[in-house]
Structure 1
């Protein structure tokens, strides 16, 4: 099964768009895993090994920070209508709420000179000194800043760095024991970019803001394996109340933006599944070349892990190819469900 999707993935490697891919397809209790290609091209060729650690970049948002925020809401310690300035007094605009942040509708904008050369304290101050532009509430504009702020709000409430909270509230309860924000063995990590300033980035976070903010960054920084991300998807697809409650999982399938027509749920993007019973699924990507797709209705999911920024970024040709692979997967997945129904 999933022959067309696997063929599209191998083509992505064979034509040099990415060095290699680790992938998995989840159908209820069944999991199909695979890997293809290389994990490193520079300084020398290294074939991809099973269950390596990937810098998953912005998957940190939906695997980690979203679930910490939703657990705080469940505990009555936070509400979607709460104002950011009530938790982060340095933030001056009293219009922006938790809902705006988690749906990327805050409109926060502005330029920070020499951003990547600032210290963590300087970057913290600079981010809180940004302003709200004309897109406030009217347009979904994806931005790491929203989730950096969400992480700081969680820190204010619970008194620990957001990455510690993700570890304690999400990774450990789910048994994602290989996932970490601080890899101790770089050889277990799939490398990302060959940088003029940092050399080969391997075992250290690629994202420059996360590199500066370290444990206080809720937008990126997580390293995870194929097996751990399968564990995460299975938990999301199950009737468990981890990493969020069943009721909250159901709300992910609705547009949660203030105007309810901008294609965004709580952290996750919404995607239409065609077929006999059209419906919505959720997905998210990471800049380094990672992607999760979850169909909560049919209990199916895909994990896609690549290092598309190796050896050089940004490799924009990858984006259309990734989207095409998702389309192929959704079509095959629908056929699989249809065939199962007929067999019953």
Structure 2
């Protein structure tokens, strides 16, 4: 890596030498120029596999911002939807008239509740059970990150577009942006494995998130598989959205870099978390499997970080300390 990114590289190598993750695929973008770091293993259990360029990752919750959020913004642009429209106007069986599309997008809806035996339900049973949830005391008072918000946003998109959300993301987001290596149906032979689940074997080429596995094409919160090159192409588009206006207008991308909560005392953009950096916001989003995007449109810097931190096991809490060190190192060079 260039001298500018020496500290970032130091933190990435430390993550590998301390065996926090088996391998890392990372790209740093500055003024559209890309510096890559690919090192380590794709798998260590049950057999070792070396990490190769162009391997495909289960990007987990990055699905929310690469796909679902942009789909909703597209529907707003075309006048089919409004950010402050009550969800119940689109989904009549929704359980609270106060909740708007904006609340779902910014994780301020306060959705709560318990679905018994959730991971054993069928697709139809889980879809029905979602509408037995409720809105709790956190409504519009706290940002509480939840997949449920983006599952409901996916159902909103389905209702308006008359096709499953993952098909809509493929047709309306991935293909226009030429993210040709991004898919909801990957070839396992190209995939970085995720968790080793003992008697159940190695999860590879199948979405790790159990809700996404059950909901399949109807899940707007997870399910996407992608590569370092495709996600680099995606963040370069966020940094310069005038280069391709087939998905949304540049003004729609620009609003991502602003606080979008209905309660101005809270901080969240549409989909993205916001990090205050000097006098502006940096976008951040991560995925459970060990993925992360950081995007700063002001300085034209970005970071794509892909790992399989839940391999061999998801019981890897120390990872988050190391990930924060990568974020801090990036922000130190982000000027």
Task: Give the TM-score range, shorter chain.
Answer: over 0.9
Q: CA deviation at 1:96?
A: 0.8
Q: Show CA shifts across 1:306-329 (max 9, x none).
A: 000000013111112111211111
Structure 2 match to 1:341: none
Alignment partners' CA distance in 2, 1:304 and 1:146: 24
Q: C-alpha root-mean-square deviation of aligned residues, in Å?
A: 1.1
Are positions 1:54 and 2:51 aligned together? no
The answer as to 2:316 corresponding to 1:312 is: no
After superposition, the C-alpha distances for 1:230-260 in whole angstroms (9 at most, x for unaligned) are 1101111114235432112221122111112
Which has the larger displacement, 26-35 or 302-311? 26-35
Q: Does 1:270 align with 2:270?
A: no
Contact 1:105–1:141 (CA under 8 A) maintained in structure 2: yes
| Contact preservation (8 Å) 2:241, 2:253 | no
Taking the aligned partners of 1:197 and 1:63, their CA distance within structure 2 comes to 33
Structure 2 equivalent of residue 321 of structure 1: 322
Superposed counterparts of 1:56-75, under 5 Å: 56-75=59-78
Asked whether the 8 Å contact 1:90–1:129 carries over to 2, the reply is no
Structure 2 match to 1:187: 189
Cα distance in 2 between the residues matched to 1:295 and 1:198: 41
Residues 101 and 146, structure 1, Cα contact 8 Å, conserved in 2: yes
The residue that corresponds to 2:13 in the other structure is 10
Q: Which residue of 2 aligns with 1:297?
A: 298
Q: What are the equivalent positions in structure 2 for 1:25-104 lying under 5 Å apart?
A: 25-104=28-107
**Cα 1:243/1:320, change in 2 over 3 Å:** farther
Aligned pair in 2 of structure 1 residues 9, 242: CA closer, same or farther (>3 Å)? farther
Partners of 1:242 and 1:268 in 2: CA distance: 21
TM-score by length of 1: 0.94
| Alpha-carbon distance in 2 for matches of 1:40, 1:250 | 38
Secondary structure of residue in 1 paired with 2:150: helix
Answer whether contact 1:236 1:242 (CA < 8 A) is retained: no
Q: Give the C-alpha shift of residue 10 in structure 1.
A: 1.1
> Which runs of 5 or more structure 1 residues have no equivalent in the other structure?
335-344
When normalised by structure 2's length, the TM-score is 0.96
Aligned to 1:210: 212
State the 1:196 CA deviation: 4.1
Contact 1:180–1:224 (Cα < 8 Å) also in 2: yes
Partner of 1:222: 224
Between the aligned partners of 2:136 and 2:98, the Cα distance in structure 1 is 12
Distance (whole Å) between structure 2 residues aligned to residue 79 and residue 197 of structure 1: 47
Deviation at 1:147, TM superposition (A): 0.2
Structure 2, gaps ≥5 residues long: none
Name the counterpart of 1:165.
Answer: 168
Give structure 1 regions of 4+ aligned residues with deviation exceeding 6 angstroms.
none
1:117 aligns with 2:120: yes
Contact 1:255 1:261 in 2 (8 A): no
> What SS does the aligned partner of 1:34 have?
strand
Aligned length: 330
Deviation at 1:297, TM superposition (A): 1.1
Shift of 1:197: 6.2
| Inter-partner Cα distance in structure 1 for 2:327 and 2:317 | 16
Mapped contact 1:22–1:306 kept (Cα < 8 A): yes
DSSP 3-state at the match of 1:26: strand
Question: Whole-Å Cα distance in 1 between the matches of residues 141 and 199 of structure 2?
Answer: 38
Whether contact under 8 Å (2:299, 2:334) holds in the other structure is no
Residue pairs, 1:151-162, within 5 angstroms? 151-162=154-165
